[in-house]
């Protein structure tokens, strides 16, 4: 395996070795309890590293480091703060190859995807918020001939950032960058399932000379170290991305503590495909929206509603493409579909396919685990799966599967399509595929999701509000929304 063999030549980052450590006060250190968890490579099913099983004591240390760093960081000249963020971005770009390789190995995603999307986006997150440092402004309200109000936006203080496994460095940095840009010190925790690139970020911070204690990175289980971060009295805001059930648990714990809380949670995203769409382009894009990253993107389309006039044609084309997409070793340069992130997750996704069959669904493509070749014989590979014939209230149309499994059903009118799309507890992202502009605008207005893409998917402008409604979360990330979340507004009123 060329990419694996090349691992040590690709980087001067030490954390490519397979026991990773916490990053506290600018230094790597073992968890205080000296306890470690196994890190499993999804493509091989084998343990390939160890990660700290941190707890409350490590959080305590990280908070102390952040407390010490905070006064200087929050009062740093904005241009200097921006320079640090820009330097981190540049170093991520410089380390594209090793970071992409680590991400592919740790998560099971195709290395080409990590190189094209995950790692460049992590760099963009830091670049974007480096600029935001100097562009962020606050309001002033004049009261005629009486007084003027101005609003200060001050850093919250020490904040916690907790992220999931599906886009590891991409989502980790999407929180950390604005938190730092706004002048906070950060205690961050990546998913215990994909900790590697987060660990490497510490070394990048060392390299660019980020002041000690400004960013602290802890590893371990959500229920222990994640929960300790959320509940620490000196951590004043939590930005969380993950499952809806976890979000509900955190919200329940934190409500009486009155912390700022941003929750980016699960989705069950509808794609509305109309007879008048550009069919060839739509087939390709909807296929990508369904199966990119093995369907493990919170924004992936998972419920396809296709207007009856093109239903059969669209369905056959999609099924044909799915049958040709063979999961393979994520470290091969030409792999388009990699491994499911863990055995537990694979079993969960497979269990939904069984439920679909029991509830009357027909498997049009896929549905089965695949054995990999060579080193991947014990990996967690699953065929891209398309299911037809389920009612809209069926389990697979209502619960998030978060894997390469989609359902497809026909509709006749715009009203039907809208009703089907909105019959969901979730409300993250929808896509609409049509050449009728007025229909597209009307539906976009009425659909209950935080994000709507028309004739595209995952086209991102980092200035726009990002997030969902209902069971998909509370609050928005991105652009000014993120800068507002990570600051505390204070109104000052001066009477003339
Ligand atoms: P998860 O909820 O199991 O874990 C997410 C993170 O929370 C991990 O770091 C985990 O260790 C931590 N955690 C778990 N329990 C915790 C607790 N009690 N207190 C504090 N932290 C805790 O989610 P996952 O399986 O890692 O990720 C998949 C989910 O994330 C899916 O539902 C997906 O839709 C969602 N997601 C949402 C978005 C979005 O922007 N809306 C983006 C990506 C993923």
CATH number, domain at 367? 3.40.309.10
Check whether residue 173 and residue 298 sit in a common domain: no
Give me 450's structure tokens.
Answer: 């935080």
Check whether residue 21 and residue 156 sit in a common domain: yes
DSSP conformation class of 126? H
**What span, in angstroms and rounded, lies between the C-alpha atoms of 418 and 443?**
7
Strand ranges (E), 361-425: 362-365, 369-370, 381-382, 385-388, 405-411
Check whether residue 136 and residue 237 sit in a common domain: yes
Cα–Cα distances (Å) from 153 to 127, 223, 426, in that order, read 21, 33, 32
The CB density around residue 492, as the number of other CB atoms within 10 Å, is: 10
Give me 297's structure tokens.
Answer: 């993107």
400 C-beta closer than 6 A to ligand 1: yes
Tell me whether residue 264 is one of the annotated catalytic residues. yes
Q: Helix, strand or coil for residue 149?
A: strand
Check whether residue 313 and residue 217 sit in a common domain: no
Check whether residue 421 and residue 291 sit in a common domain: yes
Give all strands of the β-sheet with 140-143 in edge-to-edge order. 140-143, 147-155, 487-495
**What span, in angstroms and rounded, lies between the C-alpha atoms of 118 and 69?**
29
Q: Helix, strand or coil for residue 141?
A: strand
Check whether residue 152 and residue 211 sit in a common domain: yes
Backbone φ and ψ for 314, nearest 5 degrees, come out as -65, -45
241 C-beta closer than 6 A to ligand 1: yes
Asked if 264 and 298 touch (Cβ cutoff 8 Å), the reply is yes
Residue tagged active-site, from 133, 230, 298, 396: 298
Residue 6 confidence (pLDDT): 53
pTM: 0.96
Number of domains in the chain: 2
Tell me whether residue 91 is one of the annotated catalytic residues. no
Check whether residue 101 and residue 239 sit in a common domain: yes
- Can you give the pLDDT of all 496 residues of the chain as single tens digits? 456 555 444 444 444 458 999 999 999 999 999 999 999 999 999 999 999 999 999 999 999 999 999 999 999 999 999 999 999 999 999 999 999 999 999 999 999 999 999 999 999 999 999 999 989 999 999 999 999 999 999 999 999 999 999 999 999 999 999 999 999 999 999 999 999 999 999 999 999 999 999 999 999 999 999 999 999 999 999 999 999 999 999 999 999 999 999 999 999 999 999 999 999 999 999 999 999 999 999 999 999 999 999 999 999 999 999 999 999 999 999 999 999 999 999 999 999 999 999 999 999 999 999 999 999 999 999 999 999 999 999 999 999 999 999 999 999 999 999 999 999 999 999 999 999 999 999 999 999 999 999 999 999 999 999 999 999 999 999 999 999 999 999 999 999 9
Q: CB within 8 A of 449, min separation 6: which ones?
A: 269, 270, 427, 428, 429, 430, 468, 469, 472
Residue 444 CA, ligand 1 centroid: distance in Å:
28
Index of the ligand 1 atom closest to the CA of residue 167: 43
348 C-beta closer than 6 A to ligand 1: no
Check whether residue 253 and residue 320 sit in a common domain: no
Index of the ligand 1 atom closest to the CA of residue 245: 2
Pick the residue whose CA is nearest to atom 37 on ligand 1. Answer: 265
189 C-beta closer than 6 A to ligand 1: yes
**What span, in angstroms and rounded, lies between the C-alpha atoms of 317 and 57?**
55
Index of the ligand 1 atom closest to the CA of residue 267: 34
- Beta pairing class for 269-273 and 429-433: parallel
226 C-beta closer than 6 A to ligand 1: yes
Residue 160 CA, ligand 1 centroid: distance in Å:
14
> Using DSSP, how many helices (H) and how many strands (E) does the chain show?
18, 22
191 C-beta closer than 6 A to ligand 1: yes
Check whether residue 94 and residue 182 sit in a common domain: yes
- Closest by CA position to 280, among listed 313, 240, 231, 236: 313
Pick the residue whose CA is nearest to atom 12 on ligand 1. Answer: 222
Check whether residue 181 and residue 201 sit in a common domain: yes
170 C-beta closer than 6 A to ligand 1: no
Residue 2 confidence (pLDDT): 58
243 C-beta closer than 6 A to ligand 1: yes
Residue 163 CA, ligand 1 centroid: distance in Å:
6
Angle formed at CA 106 by CA 104 and CA 109, multiple of 5 degrees: 35
479 C-beta closer than 6 A to ligand 1: no
Check whether residue 458 and residue 363 sit in a common domain: yes
- Closest by CA position to 250, among listed 175, 162, 344: 162
Residue 17 confidence (pLDDT): 59
Asked if 44 and 108 touch (Cβ cutoff 8 Å), the reply is no
Domain CATH number, residue 482: 3.40.605.10
Check whether residue 416 and residue 318 sit in a common domain: yes
DSSP conformation class of 118? I
Cα–Cα distances (Å) from 286 to 283, 426, 431, in that order, read 5, 20, 9
Give me 51's structure tokens.
Answer: 């990660």
**What span, in angstroms and rounded, lies between the C-alpha atoms of 46 and 248?**
32
Sign of CA dihedral 384, 388, 392, 394: negative
Pick the residue whose CA is nearest to atom 40 on ligand 1. Answer: 264
State which residues form the domain around 422: 269-462
Q: Helix, strand or coil for residue 53?
A: coil
Residue tagged active-site, from 91, 264, 285, 481: 264
């Amino acid at each position: 395996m060329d990419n694996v063999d090349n691992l040590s030549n690709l980087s001067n980052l030490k954390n490519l070795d397979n026991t990773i450590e916490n990053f506290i006060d600018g230094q790597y250190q073992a968890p205080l309890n000296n306890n470690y968890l196994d890190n499993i490579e999804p493509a091989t099913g084998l343990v390939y590293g160890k990660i700290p099983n941190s707890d409350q004591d490590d959080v305590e240390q990280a908070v102390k480091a952040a407390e010490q760093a905070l006064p200087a960081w929050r009062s740093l000249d904005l241009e200097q703060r921006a320079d640090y963020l820009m330097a981190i971005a540049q170093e991520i770009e410089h380390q594209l190859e090793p970071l992409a390789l680590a991400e592919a190995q740790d998560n099971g995603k195709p290395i080409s995807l990590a190189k094209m999307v995950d790692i460049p986006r992590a760099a963009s997150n830091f670049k974007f918020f480096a600029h935001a440092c100097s562009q962020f402004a606050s309001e002033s309200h004049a009261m005629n001939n009486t007084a003027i109000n101005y609003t200060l936006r001050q850093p919250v203080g020490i904040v916690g950032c907790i992220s999931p496994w599906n886009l590891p460095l991409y989502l980790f940095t999407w929180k950390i960058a604005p938190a730092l840009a706004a002048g906070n010190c950060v205690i961050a925790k990546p998913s215990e399932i994909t900790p590697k690139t987060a660990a490497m970020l510490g070394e990048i911070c060392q390299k660019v000379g980020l002041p000690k204690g400004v960013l602290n990175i802890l590893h371990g289980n959500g229920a222990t170290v994640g929960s300790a971060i959320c509940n620490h009295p000196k951590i004043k805001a939590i930005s969380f991305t993950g499952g809806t059930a976890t979000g509900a648990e955190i919200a329940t714990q934190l409500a009486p503590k009155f912390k700022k809380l941003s929750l980016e949670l699960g989705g069950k995203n509808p794609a509305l495909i109309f007879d008048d769409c550009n069919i060839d382009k739509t087939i390709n894009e909807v296929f990508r929206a369904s199966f990119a990253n093995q369907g493990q993107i919170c924004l992936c389309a998972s419920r396809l509603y296709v207007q009856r006039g093109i239903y059969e044609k669209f369905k056959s084309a999609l099924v044909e493409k799915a049958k040709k997409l063979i999961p393979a070793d994520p470290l091969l340069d030409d792999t388009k579909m990699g491994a499911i992130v863990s055995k537990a997750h694979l079993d969960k996704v497979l269990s939904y396919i069984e439920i679909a069959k029991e509830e009357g669904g027909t498997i049009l493509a896929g549905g089965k685990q695949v054995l990999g070749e060579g080193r991947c014989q014990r990996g967690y590979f699953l065929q891209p799966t398309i299911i037809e014939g389920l009612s809209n209230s069926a389990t697979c149309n209502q619960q998030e599967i978060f894997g390469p499994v989609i359902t497809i059903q026909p509709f006749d009118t715009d009203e039907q399509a809208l009703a089907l799309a909105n019959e969901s507890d979730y409300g993250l992202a929808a896509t609409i595929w049509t050449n009728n502009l007025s229909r597209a605008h009307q539906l976009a207005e009425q659909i209950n999701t935080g994000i709507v893409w028309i004739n595209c998917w995952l086209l991102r402008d980092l200035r726009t509000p990002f997030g969902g409604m209902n069971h998909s979360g509370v609050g928005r990330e991105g652009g000014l929304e993120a800068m507002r979340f990570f600051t505390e507004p204070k109104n000052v009123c001066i009477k003339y």
